[in-house]
Amino acid sequence: MEQCLKNKILKMISNYEELGKTKRHNNNLIKACNALSLAIENRVIDAKSTNAAIKVINKNTSFFSVFKNDNVLLSLATTISLTHNPKLVFLEIKGVYEKLQKHFSSSEYLVMAANIIYKHGKKYGIYETVERTKISYELMRKNHKFLTSKEDYCAAAMIAMTCENLDETFNDIEKNYKYLSENGFHKGNELQTLTQMLSFTNGNVEEKASKVIKLYEFLKENDFPLKGQLLPLVGMVTSIVNDNDKFLKDVKSVDDELKKNGFGNFVFGKDNRAVVSVALTLSSYTDSMKNKVMNGLIENIATNTITNVLITMQIINIAAIASLIYVSTESN
């Protein structure tokens, strides 16, 4: 295992343990969400600053505010605790949320979307990103009215922030959905989310689908299936992985290491651990790629390569966290 990946695992474990010392630490999945997000960004947290951030949120929201929901409070607290002015940052995130509320129903998923837009929506600016998120969500509902719900707010925001031509993007998503549904994949929420992930990858419909089918079958044959609620992860993997054998070896090593360090099947769950293992592995790959680009070790690259790598890292982070949040919410 490469040192970069080892460091990711150590940060994941360290952050998870530290978040266990906070005032809102009762849910293992919520702790894991935030520990994972921090590890992907190569950051560490301390309970004292997080607890102080929780107080900031509590003081600046009403008693029944959605911001105090367990699924989002710790995430917001970790975000603002790492800034120089937690109160100001929280109020800015709250402002993004209020803009989104003009178009969407209030929920913890909308808080997540607001946090995502605040952190990653600089390309178009906050106002335009909110408007693009509205358009993105409307296109989702147009194509899959009964599959699209509040759980898709984050995906709508991701697509709005990263895909320039939304109409073209959703046409491609539909083509991928149709192609994969005709080639062995069941229609439903998981396939919809998978094809949304594919919108961030290069290639035509057949090329993308071929990668998905090949990887899906390969992982299933090698006792690390990504199926059901884990299916969208296949799209994340195909976006950057060229060597399936190396990926399998790395992700299994991460999975084993996490299992030895408090993330066992009984306490944490096999599928949840798989989400974390995949995200950490992919994050280490994008870190390595970014370092090689910045150090001039990759030749003949496009001028936007670093930007694309950073976007990929953001997508991996957001998609993995959304997956864990979804599992946590459904289990409540």
How does pLDDT run across 247-287, given as a tens digit for each residue? 999 999 999 999 999 888 887 888 889 989 998 999 898 88
Residues 141 and 184 in one domain: no
242-272: buried (b, 16+ CB within 10 Å) or exposed (e) per residue?
eebeebbebbebbbebbeeeebeeeebbebb
274-312: buried (b, 16+ CB within 10 Å) or exposed (e) per residue?
bbbbbbbbbbbbbbebbeeeeeeeeeeeeeeeeebbebb
pLDDT surpasses 70 at 307: no
**Cα–Cα dist 312/317, whole Å:** 9
Instruction: Look at residue 85 and give its three-state secondary structure.
Output: coil
Residue at 235 is within a domain: yes
Residue at 23 is within a domain: yes
What's the Rg (C-alpha) of the chain? 19
Residues 187 and 250 in one domain: yes
List of residues 6+ apart from 19 with CB closer than 8 A: 25, 31, 34, 35, 45, 47, 50, 74, 78
Residue owning tokens 């592995």:
281
* Range among 70-79, 142-151, 232-241 rated most confident: 142-151
Residues 46 and 157 in one domain: no
**Cα–Cα dist 238/223, whole Å:** 18
Residues 205 and 269 in one domain: yes
**Cα–Cα dist 323/15, whole Å:** 19
**Cα–Cα dist 9/255, whole Å:** 10
Residue at 122 is within a domain: yes
Residues 293 and 185 in one domain: yes
Residue at 88 is within a domain: no
pTM: 0.89
Q: Which of 314, 272, 264, 250 is nearest to 122 (CA)?
A: 314
Residues 279 and 230 in one domain: yes
**Cα–Cα dist 173/305, whole Å:** 23
Residue at 190 is within a domain: yes
Residues 16 and 106 in one domain: no
pLDDT surpasses 50 at 302: no
* Range among 63-67, 120-124, 136-140, 223-227 rated most confident: 136-140
Asked whether the CA dihedral 292, 295, 299, 304 is positive or negative, the reply is positive
Q: What percent of the chain has pLDDT over 90?
A: 56
Task: Report CA 263 to chain centroid distance, whole Å.
Answer: 19
Residue at 90 is within a domain: no
Q: What does the pLDDT read at residue 84?
A: 95
Residues 18 and 41 in one domain: yes
**Cα–Cα dist 301/303, whole Å:** 6
pLDDT surpasses 60 at 39: yes
Q: What does the pLDDT read at residue 31?
A: 87
Domain limit, last residue, from 36, 52, 82: 82
pLDDT surpasses 70 at 311: no
Tell me the pLDDT of the chain averaged across its residues: 87
CB 74 within 8 A of CB 49: no
Residue at 175 is within a domain: no
What is the CB neighbour count within 10 angstroms for residue 220?
12
Residues 78 and 112 in one domain: no
47-56, 108-117, 177-186, 233-242: which range is least confident on average?
233-242
Residue at 56 is within a domain: yes
Domain containing 155 equals: 95-163
Residues 186 and 311 in one domain: yes
Q: How confident is the model at residue 328 (pLDDT cuts 50, 70, 90)?
A: low
Q: How many residues does the chain have?
A: 332
Split into its structural domains, the chain has a count of 3
163-186 tens-digit pLDDT: 889 999 999 999 999 999 999 999
Residues 157 and 288 in one domain: no
Residues 268 and 310 in one domain: yes
